[in-house]
């Protein structure tokens, strides 16, 4: 069994101007997605928790494409945004379940990826 250096799994409630929007979000510092074992661990995590949004910190990838995202999310509908790895910065990859959330804006600034959208089932807007 693969031992990951650090695993941070969190389910968060996102607050927007005193409005509480319950969401299933996982944030994971993977410290590199180069090995197939780490990619398999992420996919198992995704299938087990069925989160709406997955934030992968430090994937250490300069290029992210649909193939990389399918290997992390599976074949269900998804969207993604990423900040590439540059030098010592490991980058950020954010994926979301497009059946649960509708993301209309993504921004990549410095070491941050910001997504804005709304929850499809209840129509609540969010910024993450």
Strands, E assignment, the chain: 13-16, 19-22, 25-29, 53-57, 78-83, 92-97, 101-109, 112-119, 125-127
Q: Buried b vs exposed e over 64-82: b needs ≥16 C-beta within 10 Å?
A: beeebbeebbeeeebbbbb
Q: Could you report the average pLDDT of every consecutive run of 10 residues in the chain (128 residues)?
A: 39 52 82 85 87 90 87 87 83 92 91 91 89
Q: Are 54 and 46 in contact (CB under 8 A)?
A: yes
Q: How far is 61 from 78, CA to CA, in rounded Å? A: 19
The predicted pLDDT at position 18 comes to 53
pLDDT of residue 19: 56
Residue 72: what pLDDT? 86
Closest CA to 59 of 26, 91, 94, 27: 91
Q: Which domains does the chain have, with CATH numbers?
A: 13-127 (3.60.10.10)
- Look at residue 20 in the predicted model and tell me its pLDDT: 60
Q: In the prediction, which pLDDT does 7 show?
A: 41
């Amino acid at each position: 069994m693969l031992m990951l250096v650090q695993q941070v799994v969190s389910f968060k409630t996102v607050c927007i101007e005193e409005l509480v929007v319950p969401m299933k979000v996982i944030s994971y510092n993977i410290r590199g997605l180069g090995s197939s074992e780490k990619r398999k661990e992420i996919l198992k995590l995704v299938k087990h928790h069925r989160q709406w949004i997955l934030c992968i910190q430090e994937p250490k990838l300069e290029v992210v494409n649909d193939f990389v995202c399918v290997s992390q999310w599976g074949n269900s509908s998804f969207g993604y945004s990423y900040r590439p790895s540059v030098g010592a910065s490991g980058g950020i990859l954010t994926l979301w379940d497009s059946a649960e959330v509708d993301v209309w804006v993504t921004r990549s600034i410095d070491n941050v990826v910001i997504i804005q959208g709304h929850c499809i089932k209840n129509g609540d807007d969010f910024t993450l």
